Structure 1
Amino acid sequence: MVTDGGGRRGLALSIVIVGICMVMLDTTVVNVALPSFERSLGADAAQLSWVVAGYTLASGLSLIPAGRLGDRIGHKPVFLVGLVVFTLASLWCGLAQSAEELVVARVVQGLGGGIYYPTVTSFIQVLYTGRARGRAFGLMGSVIGLTTALGPLVGGLLIEALGMEDGWRWIFFLNLPIGLVVLIAGLRFLPRARVPGEQRSGLDPFGTALVSIGLVVFTLPLVQSGGGWPAWTWSLLGVGVLVLVGFFAWERRVERAGRAPLVPPRLFAHRAFTGGVINGTAFFAAFTTIFFVLSIYWQSSLGYSALETGLMMVPNSLASVAGAFLSERGTHRLGRGVLVIGAGAVAAGLVALAAVVLLVPPERTDWVTVLVPTVVIGFGTGYFIAPNTQFIVSTVDPIEAGAASGVVSTVQRLGGAIGIAVAAAVFFGVSAVAGPAIGVPVAIAASAVLAIAAFALVFTLPRRLPEPHD
């Protein structure tokens, strides 16, 4: 642990938390800008999907390799390099002159964010111990939740003030002064210390390449199909599955050779861990999709502004913050029950939201009609996410907790990317045949199916967390 005074530790913590908030802000801020991308850049359905899913996918794929690189060379340089990539890519996003260019810039931006995101937890481990470390993680979670909640509102305000044509560019330019300040402060104040007991694991570049190719090939037909399923989409899905099977075979070979695999196969010998990973993937695929679909429908079909759309999303985000705040107490009192309540609330909220959008005529649809379902979804999301990670990691031996946490964080991001791809394919495909008023509830219902699957898989996890040791 760093032995400097509390003020210096607090400053270092502030630096990395501001950095991580930039990543989370750009996860939600783009939702209200999707119709602006369509209008300003002529983005089609697939390109809109890639703007969101490409960012999430690139971020998820870089998490574990970046963590391994931090183990080898130190987390400070990895944080700073990732921050520079993210900030410059934000500039590129804002300057993009075509939808294709924006998609590529967003992928690079996600890559940069994924590089420095995992270093934040390592810095907290360096800076704090015991209960102070728990409070630091709690602060990080609360600030991230608040930033995520503000994303749609910030995006809506910028587009409302600066116009549909160019206002969206400033949701990316906003990162430039923040990134510059964080970079200068990070160079000066972040510690060089390593996490005590850290192992210098190998990078497994071939494994990284295999899983990246497999996931991109698997996701590509979901996004590009446009709701139809020609033969090439099924072929690519099959190729993606085969590459991913090859990836797991390679990881077993790496582990048997005594080297450090990217994803340790031994973790999946724990049935509860496997069920928990599938549970987390399904849950993130379910809840991350609703505002992608609603934002396009709200503005393009119902005629609401970007600001009105952002305001419609705020109650959901604030409910998520409240759920996250209460989740720690709920975990201690209810054990696995906190996950049952969280996943159940999201599933019920999605079913109710699909029913409301289907049954209420478009001319009578406003923020009040969707308020209760979106608030229920938001609360369930916040109540579920942090305990879910804790419960999944608790299913493996303590010595494997670091590797398990990395796998969980990665599949959460990848689940979100796949969920966006599936929801977009359903929404645009059904809308092309029956109109958006039918496409939206069908896409939300597809997400509800995933949430129900996540609810069922909760029961594969242990009833209680092991008692913590200070």
Structure 2
Amino acid sequence: MPLFLALMSVSVVNVAVPAIERGLGATAADLQWVLSGYTLTYGVVLVAAGRAGDLWGRKPLFLAGILVYVIGSLLSGLAANALMLNASRLLMGCGAGLFNPQIIGVIQSSFTGRARGRAYGFFGTVIGLGVAVGPPAGGALLGVAGDDWGWRWLFLMNVPLGLAALVMGLLWLHPPTQTSADLVPRGLKYLDPVGMTLLAAATVCLMLPFILTDALWLLAVAAVLVTAWWAWEVRVRRTAVQTGVYPMVDPALFLRPSFSLGTLQVTVYMAAMPAAFAVVAMFAQEGLGLSPFLAGVSTLGSALMVVSLSAWIGARVDRFGPWFVFAGGVLAVVSALLLILAFARVTDGSWPFWTVALILLPQGVSQALIMTSTQVLMMDDVAPREAGAAGGVSQTIQRIGTSTGIAAVTGVYFVTAAGMRDASAREASGAAAVDALWVVLVCWCVVLAVGAADLARRGVQRRRERRTA
């Protein structure tokens, strides 16, 4: 349930932006923070929270995160102005960042083999539900409760759901049995405060240019901070035997092909997928004049494919995982090509809009194949005592990728639309959608190429193992 709430909080707000603007008199800058502030603090907290869970136990961090998330949701729903809303959204992001890496840590430490695949399959199902329910539920609630209270209830409904999750966590979440190899020191210095600070600052500098205008210079600062963080972690790792203090993130983690390639695949895929959905929603509302509810429903089929297939895929990842990722890459590329064709046809009136929703179905299959399989494969070589930090690192990189992708894809959309002032709204929005989807296609071609390379690498590795057996 907490993961569902965290994801729904991202997708549900998109349809509420006009109502928030009218209700609070929010400026464009305020609205940008409404959309992105949550993701910012969410990404900043992830790695440190994951490492803290590895050190001090995942249940306390999980419960604390839910409590912070509930308080942030309550304050968001009661916000008297845009400043209070944005501060509350930042608090919600902190809560989500605290509890989310604990979920991956619990899966990694509690399950092995086929059972772990099933657990990650269920994890993918919840992701699909969060993405699926958000836009149509938000549109429906706005329609029933109206502009004044509709957007507030989008946040307030998290309170009873979050409290229910808190009770379930207290009753049912138990620490896994640990071996001596899993035990790690628990002092504050073992959290690596220097590494934590450097990585948090680097994450902020990487994400702020996609929230603020005229902040691209922060990318240079981010590059310096990432370099400093990496040098510090390498130094701490080198002296770990003498000091007994280990880095927040072991640099060797990135030298494991399963983790590094899996993180690259899911990051590039997630850079394009939410952006593609945003393009569909903008075209539906700006180009065709559909309601927020109908715009949200247009992507529902894709998310339902994720819900229906993730558990089945998860149970078979141990046998077919790399092939699943490769097949998902093929489907993603085909879906992007078909979407480009569909937007061109819908714009000139030769195809109805529902064909876009139909084409999103194979995209949903590709999402289930890629997201579920990579979650399992990239954690193959990660020890349970590292699971929280590793999951936090991967998700932080994914959040940065998502922010970058949305900024790039929607930027192309808005630039193209602005350059067609003499065209009708339908023509301008359709042409903008086609141009933006070419960026999506490039991203998914990268996913396919990495999947093919990983498949070949694993084949070579198996042949080498057979020769030495």
3-state secondary structure, aligned to 2:458:
coil
- Farther off after superposition, 262-271 or 122-131: 122-131
CA shift at 1:88, angstroms?
1.0
Q: CA deviation at 1:109?
A: 0.9
> Kindly, what percent of the aligned residue pairs are identical?
34
Residues 338-393 of structure 1: CA deviation (Å, up to 9, x unaligned) = 11111222232123223322442277776413123211211111111121122223
Match of 1:452, as an amino acid? C
The aligned counterpart of 1:245 is: 227
Seen in structure 2, the aligned counterparts of structure 1 residues 328 and 83 have a Cα distance that, compared at 3 Å, is closer
Aligned partner of 1:256 in structure 2 is 238
Whether 1:209 aligns to 2:194 is no
Deviations 1:211-261 (A, max 9, x none): 222222222223334xxxxxx544232222222222212222222231322
Q: Tell me which residue corresponds to 2:155.
A: 172
- Map residues 182-197 of structure 1 onto 2, 5 A cutoff: 182-191=165-174, 195-196=178-179, 197=182
Instruction: Please name the residue that 2:90 is paired with.
Output: 107
Give matches, 1:380-399, under 5 Å: 380-394=366-380
Q: Does 1:444 align with 2:437?
A: yes
User: How do 1:83-122 and structure 2 match up within 5 A?
Assistant: 83-122=66-105
Q: Is the 8 A contact 2:11 2:135 kept in 1?
A: yes
Q: Secondary structure at the match of 1:393?
A: coil
Question: Contact between 1:83 and 1:183, CA under 8 Å: does it hold in 2?
Answer: yes
Q: What is the distance in 1 between the residues matched to 2:403 and 2:431?
A: 23
Partners in 2 of 1:45 and 1:354 — Cα distance?
Answer: 29
Q: Determine which of 204, 220, 235 is the counterpart of 2:217.
A: 235
2:416 is aligned with 1:453:
no
Q: Which moved more, 1:168-177 or 1:62-71?
A: 62-71
Question: Does residue 1:80 correspond to 2:63, yes or no?
Answer: yes
- Give, as a single letter, the amino acid of the residue that structure 1 aligns with 2:209: P
CA change 1:191–1:219 in 2 (3 A) is: closer
SS at match of 2:441: helix
The runs of 5 or more residues in structure 1 that have no matched partner are 1-17, 226-231
Residue 58 of structure 1 corresponds to 41
Flag the 1:445–1:128 CA change in 2: closer, same or farther, 3 A: closer
What SS class does the counterpart of residue 90 from structure 1 fall into? helix
Deviation at 1:273? Answer: 4.0
Query: What value does the CA root-mean-square deviation take over the aligned residues?
Result: 3.2
2:184 partner letter:
Q
Following the alignment from structure 2 to structure 1, what is the Cα–Cα distance between the partners of residues 228 and 109?
37
The 3 A distance-change label for structure 1 pair 200 and 424 is: farther
Letter in 1 for 2:306: S
Residues 1:304 and 2:286 aligned together: no
Which residue of 2 is the match for residue 463 of structure 1? 458
Structure-1 separation of matches of 2:312 and 2:403: 27
1:107 counterpart SS class: helix
Q: Deviations over 1:136-192 (max 9, x none)?
A: 554444344334322222212111211234312211111111122333444455436
Distance 2:365 2:26 in 1: 33
* One-letter amino acid matched to 1:222: F
1:154 pairs with 2:149: no
Matches within 5 A, 1:257-406: 257-258=239-240, 259-271=245-257, 273-328=259-314, 331-332=317-318, 334-361=320-347, 367-394=353-380, 403-406=389-392
State the AA in 2 paired with 1:446. V
Cα separation, partners in 2 of 1:161 and 1:200, compared to 1, 3 Å: farther
* Runs of 5+ unmatched residues, structure 2: 421-427
What displacement does 1:286 show? Answer: 1.2
Q: How does 1:137-148 map to 2 (within 5 A)?
A: 137-148=120-131
Residues 117 and 376 of structure 2 are in contact (CA less than 8 Å); yes or no, is this contact kept in structure 1? no
Q: Provide, for residues 400-437 of structure 1, a one-character-per-residue CA deviation record: whole Å limited to 9, x for no partner.
A: 66654443233223322332233333333433333433
Distance, in Å, in 1 between the alignment partners of 2:377 and 2:173 is 31
| Structure 1 SS opposite 2:267 | helix
In 1, are the aligned partners of 2:276 and 2:437 still within 8 Å (CA)? yes
What amino acid maps onto 2:203 in structure 1? Answer: L
Alpha carbons 1:80, 1:116 under 8 Å: kept: yes
Give the secondary-structure state (helix, strand or coil) at the position aligned to 2:440: helix
Which stretch shifts more, 201-210 or 94-103?
Answer: 94-103
2:184 corresponds to 1:199:
yes
Q: Is the 8 A contact 1:57 1:417 kept in 2?
A: no
